[in-house]
Amino acid sequence: MNIRIFALATTLALAPAVLFAQPVTTPAVTHPYNIHQRKVNQQDRIGQGVRKGTLRPSETARLERQEVRINREERGMRSRNNGHLTRQNRRTLRHRQNRESKRIFRLKHNARGR
């Protein structure tokens, strides 16, 4: 009987210490908008347009040049902020990529003969 009481008392005495000893971890800030994945997806869409013949070589070259400009702009933004993007930088890149996405769609779905 004394052993049970001792075990219970020990458990109750140590329980708060164990609870407070847990490391406090805050989740890393993750952004639902992934710039890299967006670039990969848009490159895939351009490649798909080339394979299916819905994009002309001149249209493809224009889209690729714009992708290079966006990538260059991102590198410049990151270099100014020690490899990080500010909220405004992400907003600007998102805007540029949205415009490029619309341009890809428009060129892939235009009614010009191939």
Let me know how long the chain is. 114
Q: At what angle do helices 87-108 and 35-52 cross, to 10 degrees?
A: 10
- What would the mean pLDDT of 18-29 be, rounded to a whole number? 52
Residue pair 30/89 in contact by the 8 Å Cβ criterion:
no
pLDDT of 22 above 80: no
**For residues 81 and 9, which has the higher predicted lDDT (pLDDT)?**
81
Q: What is the pTM of this model?
A: 0.67
Give residue 85's pLDDT band: very low, low, confident or very high (50, 70, 90): very high
pLDDT of 21 above 60: no
pLDDT of 65 above 90: yes
Q: Where do the structural domains in the chain lie, given as residue ranges?
A: 35-108
**In Å, how far from its chain's centre is CA 110?**
29
